[in-house]
Amino acid sequence: MNQTEHILHIARLKNNCPECYATDGLEISFVQMEKETQFYKKHEAKIDETLFCHSCGNVIYPVNWTEDIERVYQYNKKQATPKNSVFRLKPISYGIIVLGIILVATLMYGFILQQDY
């Protein structure tokens, strides 16, 4: 099972970092995970967001966000459009489903013929 990150949106912020008070180091990123197995592929509905300061090298957690950062976060969150989280089957899955249907139909046909005798 492979998990892949898809970056939906990255933005550099001009707000002050709550840790080091630098004005040019904040970056917010929105990431959506994709799970891929041998049989299917699916994007998760959850979007992970991270606020990172390049000046001090810290991840800024939402508890430490100021009102200004919160407003910029809300704006950028609208810009990050998530990918559709539809469950997509791969060709091998369709083959297994068709083989299962054929097997059940064959067993039912054989059972019906056996009852006639």
| Six token digits for residue 67 | 């009102």
Phi-psi region of 58 (alpha: psi -120 to 50; beta: other; left: phi over 0): beta
- Torsion, Cα of 56, 61, 63, 69 (10° steps): 70
pLDDT one-digit tens code per residue, 2-23: 888 888 989 998 888 888 888 8
Residue 116: pLDDT band (50, 70, 90) is: low
The single residue listed with the structure tokens 């430490």 is 64
pLDDT one-digit tens code per residue, 47-91: 899 999 998 888 999 998 889 989 999 999 988 888 887 888 888
* Residue 23: predicted pLDDT: 84
Best CA proximity match to 42, nearest among 7, 77, 81, 2 = 2
Q: What is the pTM of this model?
A: 0.73
**Domain-wise residue ranges, the chain:** 2-86, 90-117
